[in-house]
A = this chain, B = another copy of it.
């Protein structure tokens, strides 16, 4: 563990210099959970079958947020993105799981873009349902997989 690369020798924060790195195909996959009351999830899923769709609004919010990651995370490189995809699925009666996959051809990875997409989609679910359930919790936001770049393929062990 060589230390935190966002700091230079004197300890000042900086954006890591990637100008010597090669632009390669990169992918990152992240996930997160929104825990809520079963009635809330039922309401989301029922409206999803009608015209209004919490899942669709959250998905769009996540996609749009991924594009603005470099604006939100101070030391993150601004990147054009080639693909962003979000899935939202109920994994049990009280849990909505969000997964984002982001791709780019760039000198640096897109973990932050995938994690930002998941977080903002989760916040949007909260916003749209808070009138009926203020106690929803966003849990387990984490990187699942990452490929491209010098450090090789990473895939998180299932827990």
Interface residues of A (CB under 8 A from B): 1-8, 10-19, 25, 32, 39, 43-44, 47-48, 50-57, 59-61, 63-65, 67-68, 70-87, 103-107, 111-112, 115-116, 119-120, 122-124, 126-132, 134-143, 146, 154, 156
Min Cβ gap A125→B in Å is 10
Q: How many copies make up the complex?
A: 6
Contact of A57 among B75, B111, B146, B156 (CB under 8 A): B75
Whether the Cβ atoms of A138 and B135 lie closer than 8 Å is no
Residues on B with C-beta less than 8 A from A124 are 73-75
Task: Give the dominant DSSP class at A's interface.
Answer: mixed
Instruction: Given the known inter-chain contacts A32-B138, A57-B60, A137-B141, please indicate yes or no for A14 contacting B123, CB distance below 8 A.
Output: no
